[in-house]
Amino acid sequence: MGREGERLMRKYIIFRSEKREPGWKERKLQHTQGLTRILAEHFDSSDRPVPEPGYRPTEFIRVDALHDR
């Protein structure tokens, strides 16, 4: 529970690709190597609404050349 009397809305959001999108042969589940349409999974406990269809999650990459070691 959040503040007194409030309930937190917990959401499990799955971002999926359309069938036969480019790169579909490379999207595999790591433990089984089975093909998947899942692009990303996200747990959200905020009060924000669920994303609208077409929303793209932010991607993060690490560029070692720009990273201080």
Separation between Cα atoms, residue 30 and residue 60, nearest integer Å: 19
pTM: 0.57
The maximal CA–CA distance of the chain, rounded, in angstroms, is 49
Separation between Cα atoms, residue 14 and residue 48, nearest integer Å: 16
26-44 confidence digits (pLDDT tens): 888 888 888 888 888 888 8
pLDDT of residue 12: 92
Q: With cut-offs at 50, 70 and 90, classify the pLDDT of residue 6.
A: low
Burial readout 7-18 (b: 16 or more C-beta within 10 A, e: otherwise): eeeeeeeeeeee
Q: Phi, psi at residue 66, to the nearest 5°?
A: -105, 0
Reading the block at residue 2, the tokens are: 């959040």
Domain boundaries, the chain: 1-69
